[in-house]
Amino acid sequence: MKLTNHQFEEAAYIFERANGYSHSDYEKNIIKESKLKNLSIRELEKIIVDGINFNIYKSEKERITAYWSLSKIGNYDLIPKFKKWLKWELKNNCENTIFQILVALDNLGEPAFDETRKGRTENEIDLNIRDAKKILQ
């Protein structure tokens, strides 16, 4: 099953809700109208992980949104997967996806960003690449 970017947004809010996050009315409405809400968290996670692993999401935009969605779960078992995907994105010079994976790892307590960094944005490509290489050592 290939999810759309809108469905990734739905999944992210569903994951957050499962973690007790308090949503805005807009986000609550997205969840209410979602066809994904009837899936278990693990089923939804598996759909996204499998989609990434089987290279269903060809564009960087799709993968960025997939990684962002998965970052909302809080599942520490995803750390090795995020690192594997980071290695792949780095190898393929997919600069925009690297930042999102670093954020996901950081959210899971991994020291993804060098502590001396002043900022953390996707536009800091050289720093993101440096930090990605460092976390993969």
What's the whole-model pTM score?
0.92
Q: Give residue 117's pLDDT.
A: 87
Q: Give residue 105's pLDDT.
A: 97
Q: Cα–Cα distances in Å, from 55 out to 12, 52, 59, 82, 135?
A: 20, 5, 10, 14, 23
Q: Give residue 35's pLDDT.
A: 93
Q: Give residue 120's pLDDT.
A: 85
Parse the chain into domains and list their residue ranges. 1-74, 77-137
Q: Give residue 134's pLDDT.
A: 95
- Which segments in the chain show pLDDT lower than 70? none
Q: Give residue 54's pLDDT.
A: 97
Q: Give residue 123's pLDDT.
A: 82
DSSP 6-52: HHHHHHHHHHHHHTTPPPPHHHHHHHHH-SGGGS-HHHHHHHHHHHH
d(C-alpha 97, C-alpha 66), whole Å: 10
Q: Give residue 118's pLDDT.
A: 82
Q: Give residue 65's pLDDT.
A: 97
Answer whether 131's CB lies under 8 Å from 102's CB: yes
The tokens describing 110, both together, are: 């991994």
Best CA proximity match to 108, nearest among 100, 120, 97: 100
Q: Give residue 2's pLDDT.
A: 95
Best CA proximity match to 83, nearest among 91, 96, 13, 126: 91
